[in-house]
Homo-oligomer: A and B are copies of this chain.
Amino acid sequence: MNEPPFRRVGIYGLGLIGGSIALAVKRRWPRVMVVAIDRPHVIETALRMRIADEVSAEPRAASSCELLVLAAPVLQNVTALGALSPHLVQPILVTDAGSTKRAIVDAAATLPEHIQFVGGHPLAGAATSGLEAARPDLFDDRPWVLTPSERATEAAVDALSQLVVGLRAIPHRMTAADHDRLVAYISHLPQLAVSALMHVVGGHAREEGLALAGRGLRDTTRLASSPAGTWRDIVATNRDNVSAALDDLITALQRLKATAGPCDHELDEVFLSAARWKGVLEHS
């Protein structure tokens, strides 16, 4: 595994994820050429940070790569796939790093034969977004989902897994459908619940009331400053699963509401179940 799986890697979209992929590739394989593709003001920053070997605002810069990683927000990746594909004239493997998988996998189904596609999702993040927050260790020991399909050979999926391992992440293979269902619960529902909670609590307690809040509310609402834009895309490309997850949460809250009382066992059941799963989460 000293030989890199790809000698020339293009990265479209230089934010926290794209920038960190560039840094992590260079950390592992200093001689792999990293080509960064983004708007002019972003690639200036990328140049200044020495985050890539080549930078370009032109889609055709991707044509010389063996691997192209789409690292923009979900819907931009879908659009970019269409815009970039006419420039991809040589055999190439394309992957992405978006938070949902079915939309991009569906879009990839119509690509010409010489363009292979494997969906990807590194489950990593940081409190701060943007290229300036990029770091080579962002993916260390984190899961990285790969969604193989008939759009890629087994050899291509293996090469991508090798890259992921080289970035010190842990590849997990699953279908795009299974991925989207799972992240609706472990990622999208918590975000929506926290945003709804902070909106309701703030609206009722106002400035004076929030001043009395303790660490519990502060910790619980860490995600409440997340940007609407990112989440609008995520929800739009995972509506059925998000909707089902929201329904499940609403049902649990209604159960707490209907039965909360001193002689009630439903509150106990929800709390015991929650404490049990929290234990599993903390030890996983």
Contacts and interface: CB of A to CB of B under 8 A. Distances in A.
Contacts of A57: none
A58 interface: no
A276 interface: yes
A214 B223 CA distance: 12
What's the dominant secondary structure at chain A's contact region? helix
Contacts of A231: 267, 271
Interface stretch (A15-23, A82-90, A193-201): A193-201
Interface stretch (A26-34, A110-118, A154-162, A204-212): A204-212
Contacts of A277: 198-199, 201-203, 210, 224
A207 B282 contact: no
A250 interface: yes
Closest 6 CB pairs of A and B: A202-B277, A228-B271, A224-B278, A196-B252, A198-B274, A195-B274
Interface of A: 75, 123-125, 142-143, 145, 172, 182, 185-187, 189-205, 207, 209-228, 231-233, 235-236, 239, 242-243, 245-250, 252-257, 260-262, 264, 267-268, 270-282, 284
